[in-house]
Structure 1
Amino acid sequence: MMNGLSVSELCCLFCCPPCPSRIAAKLAFLPPEATYSLVPDLDGATASGPAGQRSRGGVSGVTGVGPAEAKWKLHLTDRAEFQYAQRELDATEVFFTRSSRGNKVGCMYIHCAPNARFTVLFSHGNAVDLGQMSSFYIGLGTRINCNIFSYDYSGYGVSTGKPSEKNLYADVDAAWQALRTRYGISPENIILYGQSIGTVPTVDLASRYECAAVVLHSPLTSGMRVAFPDTKKTYCFDAFPNIEKVSKIVSPVLVIHGTEDEVIDFSHGLALYERCPKAVEPLWVEGAGHNDIELYSQYLERLRHFIGQELAAQHV
């Protein structure tokens, strides 16, 4: 998250002069070399339902609902380290949507569970893209009985533009609208899930739209609080002010954080939990760091109980 900056460099970022876009770009965004590509599906295989037909080694999808619109195939590179077989790829659809800031946003919908009530709109962490996350999404969705919809931030994967805080909010808005309009999924069946930097667009969206639930995985309170842990107030130039938005979330919120997080201190998760009006029992993973929470058994156990029992009981 900190990108190896010294204290003096951080001070320059915040004080000479303070500029949220510079803070965001230098402290937060580390887009990797793309691990996948979307190529036009020239075979013309017609998409069958929400998940397209696999064609010539790629997963096909359409950019919109019109039959004349372009269809796309997903091609993963070796760096994606995909761990599943053809059947799982066949359940994956890829397409582009466009944000209000004019960027093309790469999207992925994975049909993990045929009778799933909920779809998870997943905003991933830093230094990864959809290609790297695809195997995790399939494993997670299958285990929690949810379909997974995700997208790449501007400048990540196949998404155009440059990473910035404003683009981050426009990207998640575009993903939300695509999920709502393309698949006809109502907000009460959407779970917003943010991991690390992905909690920033998740909190922003959840503060403006009611949904089934929100999951904040290793969240940050604000950019300046990460850089300077003793910060007690939110300054006008602070980036990613989750702490100021989370109190506006009216949906149930599950906070997950490792007690030994070396990137975003555990205190961030605790502070956000205390600000959420409808926070449910959090998951504090004893001994877990920033990137290994998923390896602990209580991670899946808590998500299963939250989605399969707590949320299900509210939707009876």
Structure 2
Amino acid sequence: MIKVVCLTGTTILFFQENAGNIAHRLEFIATMMRYLQCNVFMLSYRGYGDSEGYPSQHGLIKDAQAALDHLLQRTDIETTKVVVFGRSLGGAVATALVKNNPGKVAALILENTFTSILDMAGVMFPLLKWFIGGHGSNGLGIMNFLVRSPWNTLNIIGNVSAPVLFLSGSQDEMIPPAHMKRLYDAASLNTRTLFIEFADGMHMDTWLRGGERYWHSIRLFLEQHVGSSSD
């Protein structure tokens, strides 16, 4: 067993994947709190769970901003130690939020995140790659205007100044692991980045298959960039 280190005052703002709702992440969050001894804040995007409204890129970015603003106004946490963590779609939300709030977030963690919805269209529907595409597409992208929420994370990751940890499941069956590599490469100007692969990790279970190495990697990254004290 690894020794659990108390990350004094660390609060993780977690953004979930596209599928399901925050109730489906409770086992993951409980494990995170046990290993990292941190606070965790989650929100249900508009149109998810019991939240009203309809999800869109603009709307989800507003939801994320409201969550961060709420945390930064609290007096019961250390607001200089807020870490944003996003998985899959949540990674796109998290990147946009951190990019829009320079200096307000201590670190960013991305897990199994896509480069853009435009690139994912060609993955999910191969014939579309000739008509819709972003970076790395062999197509012309002549129908890109049809995609209302493009989530071009690859375009903005290079503008994130906070430290970034990339957690990639090499067996991701939904988002090609190459997307995470491309995001990492695009963030190369930021010298405080770290890329870690988990050989057996799939899209939703990288944290389970990664086991203690998964949590140990996050813990060491946060110790370096956020600070810690022995429990």
Aligned to 2:97: 205
Larger CA Rg, structure 1 vs 2: 1
Which stretch of structure 1 is more off in the superposition, 226-235 or 207-216?
226-235
Call closer, same or farther: CA 1:268–1:279 in 2, change over 3 Å. Answer: farther
Q: What SS does the corresponding residue of 2:100 show, helix, strand or coil?
A: coil
Call closer, same or farther: CA 1:118–1:151 in 2, change over 3 Å. Answer: same
User: Which runs of at least 4 in structure 1 moved beyond 6 Å after TM superposition?
Assistant: none
Which stretch of structure 1 is more off in the superposition, 205-214 or 275-284?
275-284
Aligned to 1:21: none
Aligned to 1:302: 217
Q: What do the CA deviations read for 1:56-105 (whole angstroms, capped 9, x no partner)? A: xxxxxxxxxxxxxxxxxxxxxxxxxxxxxxxxxxxxxxxxxxxxxxxxxx
Q: Are the aligned partners of 2:169 and 2:197 in contact in 1 as well (CA < 8 Å)?
A: yes
Q: Are the aligned partners of 1:273 and 1:279 in contact in 2 as well (CA < 8 Å)?
A: no
Aligned to 2:112: 218
Matched, 1:148 2:40: yes
Amino acid at match of 1:223: I
Aligned to 2:126: none
Q: 2:196 aligns with which of 283, 288, 291?
A: 283
Matched, 1:255 2:166: yes
Q: Are the aligned partners of 2:10 and 2:226 in contact in 1 as well (CA < 8 Å)?
A: no
Q: Are the aligned partners of 1:144 and 1:307 in contact in 2 as well (CA < 8 Å)?
A: no
Larger fraction in helix: 2
Amino acid at match of 2:201: A
Q: What SS does the corresponding residue of 2:30 show, helix, strand or coil?
A: helix
Return the alpha-carbon distance in structure 2 between the equivalents of residues 232 and 171 of structure 1: 25
Q: What SS does the corresponding residue of 2:17 show, helix, strand or coil?
A: coil
Larger fraction in strand: 1
Which stretch of structure 1 is more off in the superposition, 191-200 or 230-239?
230-239
Aligned to 1:233: 135
Q: What SS does the corresponding residue of 1:131 show, helix, strand or coil?
A: helix
Shift of 1:262: 1.1
In the TM superposition, 1:98-117 aligns within 5 A as: 116-117=8-9
Q: What SS does the corresponding residue of 1:174 show, helix, strand or coil?
A: helix
Q: What do the CA deviations read for 1:143-169 (whole angstroms, capped 9, x no partner)? A: 112100110100112211011111111
Q: What SS does the corresponding residue of 1:288 show, helix, strand or coil?
A: coil
Aligned to 1:271: 182
Amino acid at match of 2:168: H
Matched, 1:118 2:10: yes
Q: TM-score, normalised by structure 2?
A: 0.79
Aligned to 1:157: 49
In the TM superposition, 1:183-194 aligns within 5 A as: 183=75, 185=77, 187-194=79-86
Amino acid at match of 1:124: Q
Shift of 1:137: 1.3
Aligned to 1:173: 65
Alignment length (residue pairs) = 201
Q: Are the aligned partners of 1:194 and 1:201 in contact in 2 as well (CA < 8 Å)?
A: yes
Q: TM-score, normalised by structure 1?
A: 0.59
Q: Are the aligned partners of 2:7 and 2:223 in contact in 1 as well (CA < 8 Å)?
A: no
Return the alpha-carbon distance in structure 1 between the equivalents of residues 185 and 22 of structure 2: 32
Shift of 1:179: 1.1
Shift of 1:306: 0.9
Shift of 1:187: 4.9
Return the alpha-carbon distance in structure 2 between the equivalents of residues 165 and 219 of structure 1: 15
The runs of 5 or more residues in structure 1 that have no matched partner are 1-112
Q: Are the aligned partners of 2:110 and 2:164 in contact in 1 as well (CA < 8 Å)?
A: yes
Which stretch of structure 1 is more off in the superposition, 233-242 or 244-253?
233-242
Which stretch of structure 1 is more off in the superposition, 182-191 or 267-276?
182-191
Q: Are the aligned partners of 1:195 and 1:218 in contact in 2 as well (CA < 8 Å)?
A: yes
The runs of 5 or more residues in structure 2 that have no matched partner are 124-128
Amino acid at match of 1:221: T
Shift of 1:185: 4.6
Q: What SS does the corresponding residue of 1:281 show, helix, strand or coil?
A: strand
Matched, 1:128 2:16: no
Shift of 1:218: 0.5
Which stretch of structure 1 is more off in the superposition, 209-218 or 272-281?
272-281
Return the alpha-carbon distance in structure 2 between the equivalents of residues 134 and 174 of structure 1: 22
